[in-house]
Amino acid sequence: MSLTPISGRFLLSNQNELRHKITTATLREHKLRHEPITCLTAYDYSAARLVDEAGIEMILVGDSLAQAVLGYENTLSVTVDEMLHHVKAVRRGVKSGLLIADMPYGSYQIDPQAALANATRFVKEGGAEVVKIEGGEKRADLIRRIIDAEIPVAGHIGLTPQSVNVMGGYKVQGKNLSGIEQLMRDAVALDRAGVACLFLEGIPREVAAMITAEVATPTIGIGAGPECDGQVLVFHDILNLTFAPPAKFVRRYADAAELIAHAVQAFRADVKSHQYPADEESYHLPRETKAGLDTVLARKHAMRR
Ligand code: KIV
């Protein structure tokens, strides 16, 4: 049997740059070297290619696709099958980055055996390399079981959107001493359980800094300040494709909504004014066929007279 090294090199098409395959080990190396880790969500093939080829280390098929792509009100409705459909598309676009799939609400809370079966589907059918689970110390045993089945797990604590009804809205967590204590217990429990990384969402900068210093696993922040080992944002947020005012932590890097609306309106105007398609944008008959056709049409025309 021959072995293919997992850290093989890839030639990226748009930058002519050689890059290594990112693994869970790479994330730990980044933490030890204090080298910031980048993560973006992607939900389809084209976004996955753009994000991967830009050199983003982690690509998350987040359950935020429920709102960003499927138009649901929150993340609670999205199913394993819907998530898998998108994970497969992203898999086809990612070569170098580490592919993480979010386990949706209901896929791991009810029964550990079902959770294991669902996590396995994300790896086997979707091609994910890591699965992400929301929740702190109460998830530690389940996370151990999934890791025992050879599936790396990313933890996610703080403002966990799947708990929106329990939290009473999307609220920053860990703002008082008991909240901070709970977050520290959560972080340490998941670190001990062996998570590949820990997403920290919607928590004060000071608390995220304490967690990051305390745990061995890399922390990836979203609305958790600059001391985290890495940062994640939602693809649609950074491009203004969300149809809603951005959260405080979102930085918009481009206005794709304006770009797309402009292009769509221009297409409509061109069709309505007979400007599109032009002759150069049309297919033409070969010269001999055209000559033959003209002869046939001329004969028909003459016979009708
Ligand atoms: O679903 C998602 O996009 C996420 C990130 C916000 C961390 O979980």
Whole-number Å distance, alpha carbon 101 to ligand 1 midpoint, is 10
Residue 238 CA to residue 246 CA, distance in Å, equals 9
Mean pLDDT of 282-302: 97
- Rg value, the chain, Cα: 25
Ligand 1 atom showing the smallest separation from residue 39 Cα: 7
- What is the predicted pLDDT for the residue at 14? 56
Report how far ligand 1's centroid is from the alpha carbon of 137 (Å).
19
- What average pLDDT score do residues 29-56 get? 98
Q: What local confidence, expressed as pLDDT, does residue 68 receive?
A: 98
**Where does the pLDDT of residue 176 fall: very low under 50, low under 70, confident under 90, or very high at 90 and above?**
very high
Structure-block tokens of residue 281: 């944008």
- Ligand 1 near 234 CB (within 6 A): yes
Between the alpha carbon of residue 40 and those of residues 149, 228, 238, 272, the distances in Å are 26, 15, 9, 39
Backbone angles phi, psi at 41, to 5 degrees: -80, 155
Does the beta carbon of 222 sit less than 6 angstroms from any atom of ligand 1? yes
Asked if residue 52 has pLDDT above 80, the reply is yes
Handedness of CA 290, 291, 296, 302 (dihedral sign): positive
Q: What is the pLDDT of residue 19?
A: 83
| Nearest CA residue ID for atom 1, ligand 1 | 62
- Three-class secondary structure of residue 270 per DSSP: helix
- At 16 the pLDDT is 61
Interval 229-271: pLDDT, tens? 999 999 999 999 999 999 999 999 999 999 999 999 999 999 9
Catalytic residues: 201
Mean pLDDT of 189-213: 98
The stretch 206-216 carries a mean pLDDT of 98
Regarding the beta carbon of 62 and ligand 1, being less than 6 Å apart is answered yes
pLDDT at 86 over 80: yes
**CA dist., res. 37 & res. 26, Å (int):** 10
- The Cα angle at residue 168 between residues 210 and 249, in degrees rounded to 5: 45
Cα separation of 124 and 289, whole Å? 53
Q: Which of 87, 198, 201, 250 to mutate to test the pocket of ligand 1 (most atoms within 8 A of CB)?
A: 201
Q: Is pTM, for the whole model, over 0.75?
A: yes
CB of 72 within 8 A of CB of 90? Answer: no
Band of pLDDT at residue 202, cut at 50, 70 and 90? very high
Q: Distance between terminal CA atoms of the chain?
A: 80
- The answer on pLDDT for 6 being more than 90 is no
**pLDDT-derived band at 12, boundaries 50, 70, 90:** low
pLDDT at 124 over 90: yes
